[in-house]
Amino acid sequence: MAKIFCCVSCFDHGKSGISVYIVNVLRQLAEHHELTVAAFDADRPLLPESEHIRYRSIPAWLDRPLFNMLWHLFVLPLTIRQREFDAIFLPAANRRAMLFCRTFAVGVVHDLSQYHVKTKYDPFRMLYVMKLLPFAVRRLARVVAISESTAADLVKFWEIAPAKISVICNGYDREMFSAEPQPDDAARVEKYSGGEAFLLYVSRLEHPGKNHTGLILAYGLLAPALKEKYRLVLGGSDWNGAEEIHRAAAASPDAARIRLAGFVASADLPALYRRCALYVFPSRFEGFGLSLVEAMACGAPTACSETSSLGEIGEGAALLFDPEEPEEIAAALTAVLDDPEEAAALRRAGFRRATEFSWEKHAAALDGLFERRRHRPGAVAVAVEYILALAGFCIVSVPGLLLGALCGKLRFRRVFDLAGRPLRLPEVRSESALWRGSPRFAYVLAGRIGLAGDPLRDFEPELACFDRPGVFTPDFIYRSGRLAVQGALRERKQMHRSLWSDLGLVLRTFPALLFGGAGREEEKFHLLGLEVRNRSMREALDHFKECIRERKRLQVAFMNPDCFNIACRDPEYFRLMKERFEVLADGIGLVIAGKLTGQRLRENINGSDMYPHLCEMAEKNGFSIYLLGARPGVAETMRRKTLESYPLLKFAGVRDGCFDLDAGAEQVVAAINASGADILLVAFGVPRQEKWLERWGEQLAAPVRIGVGGLFDFYSGRIRRAPLWMREIGMEWSFRLLMEPRRLFKRYIIGNPLFLWRVVRRQLSRR
């Protein structure tokens, strides 16, 4: 539990999106950390209460923009003692930051709208947000952007290094905002809509950025029948330029049908979202657009600007339009209001999109930043690390430094040390990772780097580094074993640290040293007369995507040592792998075989590791997947569990493998074609699945067909997959053997040595 200081002088008295952000994030962070929060007494009733939150009062006279900005920038840093807190959290660094800070600080930037809406502020505030704030924010240890759009602006306008930026999307209150109707919905909506059907836009009345005037013009362009049926409700408090919006509404020919409802209480928002015919968000620029996600969660069809973060959130879930074109806005409104099917489709898509966001996810990502910085090893861990480092220094560093110096093979690399300072680190010019990094143990003893930790990063003066650089790293294990593991797993392995996890990392490195090493890396990996495509995970997925878009047929097979053994005794299967399928590498056995034959495998792309990446790619591009094979119920369970992680993923269909693969296949093929699937995953087992795909390949319409063996059993939960640490050291096969000893004894105990013997025999026969 970290001690965190937070100042919320930018709370806006609970009347802005940043107010919503502060309330929800403080509530979540208080579950895992001790918070000290500086706030105005007038705001205290609106802020969350918790035994883990202690409030400090800010003098009321500072509740003036000029005084507040200058106090937060120059005076507040002086009031914070250097070792009083583990971290400082700035919830709105695009408004309030600190010019200097001696404690690890994380600042959240919601938007840089001042660069997109030139008249947003008066000249003094523009000077403040465009000159002083960038200077201060660049000096923070970490900057959080709430959208990719904001992250891009931070790089472009404030010249913040991408390595310092973490994109952590906002969340919404899932308990409050739901599509479930409530008994008092009608009564809550009545005071805003007058009992009529309505279009809704909730945002503070700020001109020109929020673009209320553009929406008013677009509403005037609707067909008279639509304006008669639906009134326009604009909710929100007056802000800068509000008088212009009031004038535009009063001057509109449809003024009687336009309602400026004023501030909307939080308790009324869900009912308004649920009851509106369409939620419109025409803002010229937004850092996130929280009300759009809230409306989606409540089941409202939505239309929004295609610019900034609104385009990110709305893509595929809302109708997008150019906010500068009232005619285009009007066309989007008409498309939804005139077509009930379109409105229903947008409701479904929006609801699925909203499931991607939550305050729990946002706070968990912030926790990761705070916890990684807070980690301090205990005395036992330090002693064990020192003993191991001393052994490494005597066994590896001394010989490595002597040989490197005598042979003139020493070179120096400038990296970050544990304190984030530059370190001139010697390395030995060698293809062996062991000898190349041998001098590092000396710097563990000197306290400049850790024994286990994160990869070394080259020093750059403009960057801040809060990693814990170490000699032994998860990345080395992944590269040596050619593992294509999801990035989230790597991050988790680095964040949750302890003495035992560090020792485990050190021990897991030794098998990885056996798998690593030099070798030629070519496009094709030649083994036992077959050609394996030597692709990375990303290259393989890009190839799948290209084939789907061009509707080109691609049949894919994963080959592990057992598959090679089958190919050696099954001529038909061998021919298919050689002529008809794109073959991808599966298993640590192929990494070892590559080492024996002097070839370097780019990545071990097995189907089980690929599946999450495949789902992510399909979800992002709108591709659909058909699951075919396994026992009854297994594929359906897998589909249901997959949707928990990828709610927008489209499954074209599901079918178990209990049918006659010859006589009953025609109906199955017809069903697959009728589903319009882009990707077909077939789990009949090797070699039946490959032979079946070849037999019916001409009739199948799905562009990408992949034989996946036992994948469905893993992702349905029917069979446990090996723990990550066993996969890291190439021992997943031993775990599977323990789970199913009778079925897999022959495959692994006899088959693995047989495969390696065949590789060695063929290699010797070539000499």
* Mean pLDDT, each 10-residue run in order, the chain (767 residues): 90 85 94 93 93 94 90 89 84 91 87 80 82 89 91 90 86 91 93 94 92 96 96 93 95 96 93 97 91 96 94 93 96 95 93 91 88 60 81 89 85 82 87 81 87 81 66 72 50 50 72 62 86 91 95 95 95 94 90 86 85 92 94 94 86 92 88 96 95 94 95 92 78 88 92 94 83
What is the pLDDT, as a whole number, of residue 109? 95
Q: Classify residue 415 by burial, with Cβ atoms within 10 Å: 0-12, 13-18, 19+.
A: buried
Compute how many other C-beta atoms are within 10 angstroms of the C-beta atom of residue 538. 13
Handedness of CA 393, 399, 405, 408 (dihedral sign): negative
pLDDT, position 82: 65
For helices 359-374 and 17-29, what crossing angle results, to 10°? 60
**What sign has the CA pseudo-torsion 716, 722, 725, 727?**
negative
Residues 169/357, Cβ–Cβ less than 8 Å: yes
User: What angle (nearest 5°) sits at the alpha carbon of residue 423, between those of residues 138 and 367?
Assistant: 50
Q: Do residues 172 and 357 touch, judged by C-beta distance below 8 A?
A: yes
Full-model pTM: 0.57
- The pLDDT, as a whole number, for residue 470 is 84
pLDDT computed for residue 493 by the predictor: 44
Compute the distance between CA of residue 196 and CA of residue 193 in angstroms, rounded to an integer.
Answer: 6
For 80-114, the pLDDT digits (tens) are 876 788 889 999 999 999 988 778 889 999 989 88
Question: Which residues contact residue 259 at a Cβ distance below 8 angstroms, ignoring those fewer than 6 apart?
Answer: 192, 193, 194, 198, 231, 232, 233, 234
Q: What Å distances lie between residue 392 and 395, 412, 427, 439, CA to CA?
A: 5, 20, 15, 9
The pLDDT value recorded for residue 486 is: 46
Q: Could you tell me the end-to-end alpha-carbon distance of the chain, in angstroms, rounded to an integer?
A: 62
User: Dihedrals φ, ψ of 57, to 5°?
Assistant: -85, 140
For 606, half-sphere exposure in the C-beta direction (CA atoms, 13 angstrom radius) is 24
What's the rounded Cα separation, in Å, for the pair 467 and 419? Answer: 9
Match 């809230």 to its residue by tokens: 294
| 3 state DSSP class of 575 | helix
**Tell me, what amino acid is at 12?**
D
β-pairing, 105-109 with 142-145?
parallel
Distances (CA, A) of 532 to 305, 526, 683, 684: 46, 6, 21, 21
Helix pair 688-696, 571-579: axis angle to 10 deg: 60
The whole-number pLDDT of residue 184 equals 93
633 alpha carbon, distance to own chain's centre: 30
Omega within 30 of 0 (cis) for the link into 208: yes
| Dihedral angle, C-alpha 24, 27, 29, 32, nearest 10 ° | -150
Helix 359-374 vs helix 487-495: angle between axes, to the nearest 10 degrees?
Answer: 50
The whole-angstrom separation of Cα 34 and Cα 77 is 19
> Going from the N-terminus, what domains does the chain have, and what CATH number goes with each?
3-167 (3.40.50.2000), 185-356 (3.40.50.2000), 375-515 (no CATH), 524-728 (3.40.50)
Give the whole-angstrom CA distance, residue 480 versus residue 473. Answer: 11
Question: Cβ atoms within 10 A of the Cβ of 678, count?
Answer: 24
The first and second tokens of residue 30, run together, are 């208080």
Residue recorded with tokens 């070539």: 766
pLDDT at position 379 is 66
**How does DSSP classify residue 263?**
P
Beta strands 410-416 and 422-428, pairing class: antiparallel
